[in-house]
């Protein structure tokens, strides 16, 4: 009950009376209601499901400004891996209308809203798929963490039926993306992939030098080894800071500028965290 009350307060604080009414309607229908929301930072409305974790993601991006970074040069190419419903892609597309953006999301219901959110941004290309360490078919698994917490697992040999909590999707490596979409350099690589960073950065030697700047949420608490895999692969990045839930890494001549918007963090402490 306390959790539901906190969620309702968030809907009211972030979305106003429409958020409260929409959340109440969704609870009664036992199915989220989709609201169209106008906010600064987006040149077009965005669509959120209430009740759902969409509102928390919206708050992080558009109210707490967790992507409010400065740049040395405007980015040419951005990958938004773990794009969820596309709010980060919308933010990037609004700030950098000349950047080409790939928004990658593995979960189908999230992807449907993502497509709706980015349809007015011609520089954003939505992709249904999962970022992974090898080319394969993987499973999208619901661990009960909400719409933003779907995890990727290697596809088992069992014939488990696909459904809302168990879906199969194409897994793509970074090399595969660069080849398929004709990309030579990644200006900004944003990852929020619920622990799949363990596999993605384990085999990164062929592409890591093609990345100028990284923004990542690490999930060591969900999958031990994520921190070590990530930091072992990114020794060539010179500057590091944290902002909100994200770790920022950039090269001295990279796209992102270190404006000290977040506190400095200890790389050694994170690498050795277990």
Residues 58 and 71 grouped into a single domain: no
Instruction: Report the distance separating Cα 21 and Cα 11, nearest Å.
Output: 9
| Predicted confidence (pLDDT) per residue in 47-68, tens digit | 999 999 999 999 999 988 899 9
Which of 63, 82, 97 delimits the end of a domain?
Answer: 63
Residue 167: inside a domain: no
Residues 49 and 180 grouped into a single domain: no
Residue 252: inside a domain: yes
- Residue 205 phi/psi, 5° resolution? -60, -30
Strand runs labelled E in the chain: 33-37, 46-50, 70-71, 77-81, 100-105, 124-128, 130-131, 136-141, 151-154, 166-172, 186-191, 211-216, 239-243, 246-250, 256-257
pLDDT band at 166 (very low <50, low <70, confident <90, very high): low
Q: What is the mean pLDDT of residues 22-33?
A: 86
- Looking at every residue in the chain, the average pLDDT score rounds to 86
Return the percentage of the chain with pLDDT > 70, whole number.
85
pLDDT band at 262 (very low <50, low <70, confident <90, very high): very low
pTM to 2 decimal places: 0.89
Residues 2 and 49 grouped into a single domain: yes
157, pLDDT greater than 50: no
- What is the enclosing helix (H) or strand (E) of 213? strand 211-216
| Residue span of the structural domain in which 19 resides | 1-63
Q: Please, what is the end-to-end C-alpha distance for the chain in angstroms? A: 33
Report strand pairing: 136-141 vs 151-154.
Answer: antiparallel
Residue 145: inside a domain: no
Which of 48, 63, 78 delimits the end of a domain?
Answer: 63
| Predicted confidence (pLDDT) per residue in 111-122, tens digit | 999 999 999 999
What was the pLDDT predicted at 269?
52
Residue 143: inside a domain: no
Which of 11, 39, 63 delimits the end of a domain?
Answer: 63
What was the pLDDT predicted at 9?
76
């Amino acid at each position: 009950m306390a959790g539901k009350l906190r969620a309702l307060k968030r809907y009211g604080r972030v979305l106003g009376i429409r958020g409260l009414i929409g959340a109440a309607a969704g609870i009664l229908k036992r199915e989220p209601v989709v609201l169209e929301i106008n906010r600064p930072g987006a040149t077009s409305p965005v669509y959120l499901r209430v009740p759902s974790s969409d509102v928390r993601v919206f708050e992080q991006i558009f109210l707490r400004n967790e992507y409010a970074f400065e740049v040395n040069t405007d980015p040419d190419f951005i990958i938004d891996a773990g794009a969820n419903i596309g709010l980060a892609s919308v933010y990037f597309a609004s700030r950098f209308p000349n950047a080409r953006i790939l928004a990658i999301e593995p979960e189908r219901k999230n992807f449907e809203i993502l497509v709706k959110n980015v349809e007015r941004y011609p520089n954003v290309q939505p992709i249904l798929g999962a970022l992974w360490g090898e080319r394969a078919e993987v499973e999208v698994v619901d661990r009960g963490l909400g719409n933003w917490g779907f995890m990727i697992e290697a596809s088992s040999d069992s014939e488990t039926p696909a459904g809302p909590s168990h879906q199969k999707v194409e897994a793509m490596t970074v090399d595969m993306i660069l080849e398929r979409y004709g990309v030579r350099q990644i200006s900004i690589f944003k990852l929020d992939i619920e622990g799949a960073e363990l596999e993605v950065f384990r085999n990164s030697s062929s592409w890591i030098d093609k990345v100028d700047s990284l923004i990542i949420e690490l999930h060591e608490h969900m999958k031990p080894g994520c921190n070590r895999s990530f930091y072992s692969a990114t020794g060539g990045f010179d500057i590091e800071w944290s902002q909100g839930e994200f770790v920022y890494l950039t090269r001295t001549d990279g796209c992102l500028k270190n404006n000290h918007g977040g506190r400095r963090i200890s790389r050694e402490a994170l690498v050795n965290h277990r």
